[in-house]
Structure 1
Amino acid sequence: MTSMFGTRQAVAIWVVGVAVYFVAVLQRSSLAVAGLLAAERFEISASQLSTFVVLQLLVYALMQVPVGLLVDRFGPRRVLLTGTLILSTAQLSFAFADDYTWALSSRFFVGVGDAMTFVCVLRLVSSWFPARRVPLMTQLTGVLGQLGAVTAAIPMTWALSTWGWSRAYTATAGLGVVLLVATVLVVRDSATVRSVSGPMLGLAGIRRNLRDSWEHPGTRLGFWMHFSTHFSATVLGLLWGYPFFVEGQGMSSGAAGLLLTIMVFAIMAFGPLFAWLITRWPWHRSTVVLVVLASIATTWTVVLAWPGGAPFALLVLLVVVCGMGGPASMIGFDVGRTSNPDSRAGTATGIINQAGFIASLILAGLIGLILDWRTPDDVQGYPPEAFTWAMSAQFLLWGLGAAQIYRYRRKGRARLLREEPNRWSR
């Protein structure tokens, strides 16, 4: 039997995979509403507290290529099961951690487990759905998974205040255990076998797989697409958005929270639209990304050049346009998928998926350094002009990304026309 998306079995497998990714995002984001409690519980400073976020992002980025290789070798089902087990165990460990070292090591393994989910779900999508549905299912995967960040806010706040630290985090670990069982029972790599294995790769094979994936201009194009469009919303949402809106733009705390919430819903809203665009006009996927990149950079230019604090309506436009970057970055996965054979699809996806997180780490660090540089020692907090300088660091990354996208889309188009002239046309 089929649905509007695909066979019922394919949809069931996808639903379980998305649920695993949803819980991974929830567990990744659960510390965002527990910062003050964590500082008190572990008796740590603000800089030590921020290390939790930096460590998780760093581990996530560094794990993407190894995870891609593992998916190509052992199949997405086995890797997804392993990631869910690691993530649930780490979250349970964090529930009972009572010192900083223990807590930090637990969050390290949360990052490891989290890194093993998204690539697996994308591989399952490409295996179980017809090619014309893959862009839509990929965007829906990202959109529904990000709801985990929203769920980590209100329900997690309630759980922490009602149940306390250990019980609240134990409950989130329990969700992972439930999904571990569901994955064992429901998820299959293909209709014929439960788990698919790729060829065994030694060091020479791994190097060859990485070289062949990275050598293809389509993989590099996908990498720079993800790099260029992902970081602005990520850095606003995870770290610098609230301080920028409150101290840099003079918004109230409530208004700042509303702006960040609007950005999350913008990310969700644009996903299906971009899926339709790239399905209808796959040749122009890089054009869509360049238009989004230019829109984000232009809106930031207006906000940063505005005398005094920007109007609230302009800041709403800013977060909506930045929200476009989330689904735009996922177009890079579609480019990587159509540029590589199935045997190295996981490797290519891992290479692309690390790009935006590397850019986010670079930007988050640059913003902190520039804020310290432009803030006088005798000033408490950060002045608005310091934020203007700091947020302008984004233009360096946008410039680099746009140049590379333009470079590799020319090379990628030429190769696609040479290898599959009947499939790709203007």
Structure 2
Amino acid sequence: MSVSPPPARASAKSWLIWLTAAAIYLLAVFHRTSFGVAGLQAADRFGVGVAALGTFTVLQVGVYAAMQIPAGVLVDRYGSRRVLTAALLFLGLGQILLALATSYGLGLAARAVLGFGDALTFVSVLRLIAAHFPGRQYAVVTSFTTALGYVGNLAATVPLTLLLAGPGWTPTFLTVGVITVLYAVFAIRGIRDAPGEARPVAREPVDVKALGRQVAGAWRIPGTRLGFWVHFTTMFAPNVLTMLWGVPYLVQGQGQPKATASALLTVFVFGSMIGGPVVGSIIAGRPSLRMPLVGGYLVGAAAVWAVLLGWPGAVPLGVLVPSFAFLSLGGPASMIGFALARDYNPLHRVGTATGVVNVGGFVATTVAALSVGLLLGWTGGNFRIALLAVVAVLALGTVRMLVWWRRTRATLFAAEARGEDIPVRITRRRWDAREPEAVPAAA
């Protein structure tokens, strides 16, 4: 399928299309993070222990992670419009099913359906951005998307807590599920896959081998691998706290009231909403700062976890708030992984490469959330030991990221030596390979 290059300048209609699609991402984030404050009520409703709550998030995030590469392929093949419409239907169905569920098994099935719908959203929105906006605006518009998504995260903290305490479980989740399904009408009418597109493009029959080559081609690019590990290391810790273990950690591990715990999670929301556009603006103007920003965040995150887990007794609010504020920057930093996927892959493969990158953070989230739950069960609820799983995943991801950072730099130097256009110019350092890599910077 031929793909038109992105326009030199985004039109007002492109911005409207983006806003319509970004609202879907807002809904997806709301549904994804709703268990962050509903977890303890779910334990009462389904008659399970706190450790068993981890299964809800592990299942949902596991489905999300497993679907990222297929979602990227679907978006490249069928377009964002169709995929986003399907996402809304699955998201709404998942929440409606959760609203009516009274058994643990049915609750798990509902979160799996929701995870499937969630998996289709972000990749689709990023593919729209790549098609409707010039390359220099990609990072900025992506950061606006994530900032808008955190409005959904915000709605899933204090407001959702109040709704669950008022109308209750079934009316709350049933209402948001129906609203999500109804929004599909706006998506099908308001979204276009490319500037000037009036109707969906006819598709050729599916070639499974070609799809496999599409995924393999994206994975072979060192820049895609680097994006994967950047996403892996930066976004999982905020996810683990906001999606599941934040409220239990603060209530049961730190002795905070439930209302205070929910309010503390809003620090992640506001930190990400502010940090996203700032990071996007910086890397749009200075792409050479992308990896230094990631490195700075990882060093700071290691220090924050050392403070939180090493603090004698309960951690005071004066330490929790700035610690959570810094960790919240992991979401904005993870967007650098998508910028790498966009820069090192041709437009017809951007959706697939974005899906590959997006797998990283959610694999890390799944592993960390499951490990925390298992350690809580083994230690009788000791959060200080259980959250060491987060530190271990952070260390693993950092090591792998450094490996692919070095290899990606080598491909840039090799491409520059051949006289090719490269997405960012960098200075050779002592640690860089002296012999150019054989892998091209883009393909």
TM-score between the two structures when normalised by the length of structure 2: 0.85
Query: How does 1:166-315 map onto structure 2 within 5 Å?
Result: 166-193=170-197, 194-196=199-201, 200-315=205-320
How far off is 1:200 after superposition? 5.0
- Spell out, residue by residue over 1:229-278, the C-alpha distance to the aligned partner (whole angstroms, 9 max, x if none): 11111111122223333444454444433332212211111111111221
User: Which of 402, 405, 409 lines up with 2:405 in the alignment?
Assistant: 409
For each residue in 1:268-326, what CA deviation from the matched residue of structure 2 results, as whole angstroms up to 9, or x when unmatched? 11111111221122123112111101111012213323333334322222101111111
What residue identity is the alignment partner of 2:331? G
Deviations 1:198-247 (A, max 9, x none): 76542221221111111100000000001011111111112222333344
How do 1:358-397 and structure 2 match up within 5 A?
Answer: 358-375=363-380, 382=381, 386-397=382-393
Q: Distance in 1 between matches of 2:256 and 2:392?
A: 27
After superposition, what is the alpha-carbon deviation per residue over 1:402-422, rounded to whole angstroms, capped at 9, x for unaligned? 222222122212323433346
* AA partner of residue 186 (structure 1): G
Matching of residue 52 in structure 1 with residue 56 in structure 2: yes
Q: Could you tell me how far apart the structure 2 residues matched to 1:266 and 1:199 are?
A: 45
Taking the aligned partners of 2:210 and 2:150, their CA distance within structure 1 comes to 35
2:356 to 351, 360, 370: 351
Is residue 318 of structure 1 aligned with residue 323 of structure 2? yes
Match status 1:126 vs 2:122: no
Corresponding position of 2:439: none
Q: Tell whether the 8 Å contact from 2:55 to 2:370 is kept in structure 1 after alignment.
A: no
2:160 aligned to 146, 156, 169, which one? 156
Aligned to 1:117: 121
Identity %: 39
* Contact 1:61–1:357 (8 Å) recurs in 2: yes
Q: Aligned residues, how many?
A: 413
Following superposition, the deviation at residue 397 of structure 1 comes to 2.0
The 1:372/1:39 distance shift into structure 2, 3 A limit, reads closer
* Kept after mapping to 1: 8 A contact 2:89/2:181: yes
Distance 1:329 1:50 in 2: 23
Distance 1:216 1:53 in 2: 31
Partners of 2:306 and 2:38 in 1: how far apart? 34
Distance 1:248 1:347, change over 3 A: same
**Alignment correspondent of 2:424:** 424
How far apart, CA to CA, are the structure 2 residues paired with 1:127 and 1:31? 34
Amino acid at match of 1:212: G
Provide TM-score, normalisation by structure 1.
0.89
Deviations 1:370-420 (A, max 9, x none): 334444xxxxxx3xxx43332233332222222222221222123234333
Which residue of structure 2 lines up, in the alignment, with residue 145 of structure 1? 149
Matched letter for residue 300 of structure 2 = S
- 1:43 is displaced (CA, Å) by 4.9
AA aligned to 1:366 is: S
Q: Which moved more, 1:283-292 or 1:45-54?
A: 45-54
Structure 2 residue runs without a partner (length 5+): 1-8, 427-443
Q: Report the aligned-residue RMSD.
A: 2.4
Q: What is the Cα deviation at residue 49 of structure 1?
A: 4.6
The equivalent residue for 1:378 is none
Please, which runs of 5 or more residues in structure 1 have no aligned partner? 376-381
Aligned to 1:338: 343
Which amino acid counterpart does residue 237 of structure 2 have in structure 1? S
The residue number in structure 1 matching 2:441 is none
Per the alignment, residue 399 of structure 1 pairs with 395
User: Residue deviations 1:26-76, cap 9 Å, x none?
Assistant: 223334444455455555555555433222111111111110111111111
> Matched residue of 1:330: which SS?
helix
